[in-house]
């Protein structure tokens, strides 16, 4: 009798631990926001900004900063 109870508890623990650890892809996609590192931003900027468009990019960035600051 004790063996049956221990066996049932062990099987239940295994089933719950295996099925309870799954995480749905929707849950992760909705609850988490991707955050870029400084290195990622730097690499992106090196691709997008060159000598020809650096003045325009600087103006655009300054305007965004002024808008965020409320000025």
Q: What pLDDT shows up at residue 59?
A: 92
Decide if 11 is inside a domain.
no
Decide if 20 is inside a domain.
no
User: pLDDT tens string for the chain (71 positions)?
Assistant: 777 777 777 777 776 666 665 565 555 555 677 888 999 989 998 888 888 999 998 999 899 999 988 86
Residues 6+ apart with CB under 8 A from 44: 36
Decide if 52 is inside a domain.
yes
The structure's pTM equals 0.42
Provide the number of structural domains found in the chain. 1
Decide if 25 is inside a domain.
no
Decide if 34 is inside a domain.
no
Decide if 6 is inside a domain.
no
Range of the domain at 53: 40-71
Calpha distance 53→50 (Å, rounded): 6
């Amino acid at each position: 009798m004790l063996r049956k109870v221990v066996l049932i508890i062990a099987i239940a623990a295994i089933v719950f631990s295996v099925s309870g650890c799954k995480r749905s892809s929707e849950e992760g996609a909705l609850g988490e926001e991707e955050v870029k590192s400084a290195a990622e931003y730097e690499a992106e900027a090196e691709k997008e900004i060159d000598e020809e468009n650096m003045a325009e990019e600087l103006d655009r960035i300054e305007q965004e900063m002024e808008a965020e600051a409320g000025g």
